[in-house]
Amino acid sequence: MQRYILTLRCPDQPGIVHALAAGVAQAKGNILESAQFSDPGTGVFTIRVCLETPEADTENLRDELTLRLARFDPVLTVRPEEQRRRVLLMVSKFDHCLVDLLYRWDLGELPVDIPLIVSNHPDLEPVAKRYGIPFVHLPVTRATKPEAEAELLRLVARHQVDFVVLARYMQVLSDDLCRRLSGRIINIHHSFLPGFKGAKPYHQAHDRGVKLIGATAHFVTADLDEGPIIEQDVVRVGHRHTAPELVAIGRDVERIVLARAVRLHAEDRVVLTGSRTVVFA
């Protein structure tokens, strides 16, 4: 038996689940887990299904389902569960998110393939080497940014990357790149958005005297720190913590929130609907 993960997004109307279930039944499939949500605000229908079937040919299954669902104008993904999403990691100098993601990946916690790590600095190459992952140093200056981003797009294409993860990558991406990889870049911002956007959020948090600090994993859009949120969490802090201590405490939240977001997206549990996400956690 082959296990597939299937997601579908389309304008809501009656009959979608029936058509989908008919397609699954036709393939002698059994639905093991499914979650569906129709957003009353946007009228968008979303579903994620995990199913088992003797049908071993993904194309056949996809064609069959596409045919039955065509009239709903769906965005449909069909993926054999063991065919992992391909993720390109981008970093700068801070290593805590990268180290954490690679540790989890190595242990089997993160069901992804990592064909490549890209950085605007050479510092973290040894970390990549330790795990046997190719590392590309792609420096970015104001002058070279267009070429660097073009090269990034080539790497994404060449390595058949499903999505990019900015694991504390400290360069702002151009609007054009954000558009081209729309819905395919996850960033970790080191604050509980929408509080403390922009630079040095922990210092902002310290000055403001907040009692909790947080981190936010979100899709990247041209609007900095305004992309659709995937996951957030917070941790309690107190008056005795200095800004540098907030930075240290925050590292824990950052890496946990980012790892959760990457895992959720790798398992096709995150569906983007406009400026918000549906997360079938």
**Residues annotated as part of the active site:** 225
The answer to whether the CB of 164 falls within 8 A of the CB of 88 is yes
User: Of the two residues 151 and 233, which places its CB atom closer to a copy of itself in the complex?
Assistant: 233
Site for a copy of itself in 23-42 (CB under 8 A): 24-25, 28-41
The residue within the footprint of a copy of itself, chosen from 147, 175, 207, 223 (CB under 8 A), is 207
User: Given strand 135-137, what is the order of strands in its sheet?
Assistant: 135-137, 112-119, 85-91, 163-166, 185-189, 212-219, 229-236
The residue within the footprint of a copy of itself, chosen from 162, 231, 254, 268 (CB under 8 A), is 231
Stretch that binds a copy of itself, among 8-16, 74-82, 114-122, 153-161 (CB under 8 A): 8-16
What mask, x for binding a copy of itself by CB under 8 A, covers residues 106 to 125? -x-x----------------
In whole angstroms, what separates CA 142 from the centre of its chain?
27
User: Of the two residues 14 and 132, which places its CB atom closer to a copy of itself in the complex?
Assistant: 14
The answer to whether the CB of 192 falls within 8 A of the CB of 216 is yes
The residue within the footprint of a copy of itself, chosen from 71, 93, 129, 211 (CB under 8 A), is 211
Residue 124, CA distances (Å) to 84, 98, 115, 118, 129 in order: 25, 9, 16, 10, 9
Peptide bond into 194 cis (omega under 30): yes
Interface size with a copy of itself, residues (CB under 8 A): 64
DSSP-H helix ranges across 72-187? 96-107, 125-130, 145-158, 175-180
Residues that bind a copy of itself (CB under 8 A): 12-18, 20-22, 24-25, 28-41, 96, 99, 103, 107, 109, 192-196, 207-212, 214, 228-234, 238-240, 242, 248, 251-252, 256, 275-279, 281
